[in-house]
Structure 1
Amino acid sequence: MKNCIATYALTQKGAETARKIAKLLQADCYALQRYATKSDIPFDSLKDIVADKFPRYESHVFVAASGIVVRLIAPYLKSKDIDPAVVVVDQNGEFAISLVSGHLGGANELARLLGDKIGAVPVITTATDCSGVPSIDLMARDQGLVIGAIGAIKHINSAMLDGEKVSVYDPDGYLNLTGLNEYFVVIDSVAKLPEFRCGIVVDWQVHDLPERVLTLYPRCLSLGVGCRRGASADEILKLVRSVVVENGLAMDSIFSVGSIDAKKDEVGLLEAAAILGLEPEFFSADELDEIKVANPSDMVMKHMGVAGVCEAAAIKLAGATQILVPKTKSMRVTAAIARKI
């Protein structure tokens, strides 16, 4: 499966509309067996095909009644930050209803796109869109920020819909608030957050925050790891998590992990990176040797030909000039963190 959008149809007219949409959006077209053509993927049961395909596509366009779609997809919905976009289109292609994941999933955008492509009227019911106020989840996505507790978004939206300003603590200016003074007020300390109905904190450091505060994490921290041969993923993760917690850092702000290329087949390191959801990067000894580390090691120089691995790798990944958290050691693992400026 190479396409990221799927269309589905239950009637002959619906199949014609779904086929048209699929062609315009480069989508896969699923049609009920008796209405399918050679360009379609036939199915006998929409219930069965949804059960199989729902998590496999980023977006779904159902040319069907919205009630049918709601009942079919309900068992597979998990959270607004991970559910795929779902749009419902009537068989004549007159309306495109954004049904699920309007913001983060992109259903609102997809409904509008269908309006442009087939002349359907986009039907969008998210309150922020209807009221013309900013969508903080879309703002976060556009700035590459990780949303902390997604449930806190409702407090932000509710305040803006009521005409109240939302406080924002963003010491490094990751969230672009240009032209949005009507909705947000910038504060210079988290201590001022309780003065407002709700707030937003954009930071790579962890804070003790009031309940109605949404945390957004910039992906700006790089993790450098060194390890002895055979070090387990558990030992690596234990040290990494300890370093993060003890230094008050946000795990969600780590964007990459790196080491020396002699470790590119180290099973424990690869497993640890996968668990953290990070794609590991590896550097040659010559590349790491270009970096002046804060804590050089004669032992590492003897075995690897460089003064240090974890600090140099972290700095290299971040494009930084100095280390944020210097080398920390366990029995067989070292870890360091740098910050991308």
Structure 2
Amino acid sequence: MPFARLATATTPTCHIGLGLAAVGRPGYINLGRDEDLGDNRSVEALRTRTHELLDAAYFQGVRYFDAARSYGRSEEFLADWLNARPDIDDVVIGSKWGYTYTAAWTTDAEKHEVKDHGVGTYDRQRRETAELLGDRLDLYQIHSVTPDSPALTDKELHARLAEAAADGISIGFSTSGPAQADAIRAALEVTVDGEPLFRTVQSTYNVLETSAAPALAEAHDAGLTVIVKEGMANGRLADPYAPDALKAVAAETSLGCDAVALALVLRQPWAGVVLSGAATTSQLASNLHAAVVDLDEGQLARLAELAEEPRAYWEKRGSLPWH
């Protein structure tokens, strides 16, 4: 398992990863992104921004980087960074397939990405990823599995994924939607030749959306590495959008709402890697303070009261504008 590399790392931030969803394409749904990125969202501007983030993350101890075929040019930007730094050999690189980016580098496309978990899409996107990341790819994940996803039952696809695993790539999946727990449990039952297919799971978990926690604990107990995405709830847990209770706890710690929100995730015993989705180096630096936040039982209880009903949370997320 490539994530075993993180088990021996000694930096406080080694279990924080950097996700590139917010900087690999001009449009995304994070709140405050207009201010974060400004007007210049050219390919070269976002390439430069991504490289600056990767540099800052690496030199502050981050060792996992997460991209996807649907994150615009995120794989390309990541590959450029890796190729320019051949001496860096202690990072874990993950990407995802299953969505195709369709926005043509705009922020107002009718559809920004199209989902398809079929074998044909896997074959095409696996080639595309290989052309960019080559043997630097450690982890390939099915993007946003839901309980009704054909990826859970397609034996031909499972055989393809097992072939990639035999070549040394860890196979994982990510989840989305109010039924994340059902998707996780269904994926844990997928086997090839009697052996579990998946070695990692990447799910949404944050102060507002906690429903996947029991299933993620089960996945951890089954030997999967758990990666947590959207710990900031697409900006809803950052200043100035954060709930008052989170702002109050943050004031008590003298750190940002983002650091407190991510610290809550880091302290979960099943959480292997928690992703920062920072779009600026200052956001990243603030996110990384999560590694040193110490929350007491009273603060944890106050934050627990912020959890929303899953369907309401995902309806809110689905209403966020691409900008």
The answer to which structure, 1 or 2, has the higher relative contact order (CA under 8 A, 6+ apart) is 2
Higher helix fraction: Structure 1 or Structure 2?
A: 2
TM-score by length of 2: 0.28
TM-score by length of 1: 0.27
Q: Highest CA radius of gyration, 1 or 2? A: 1
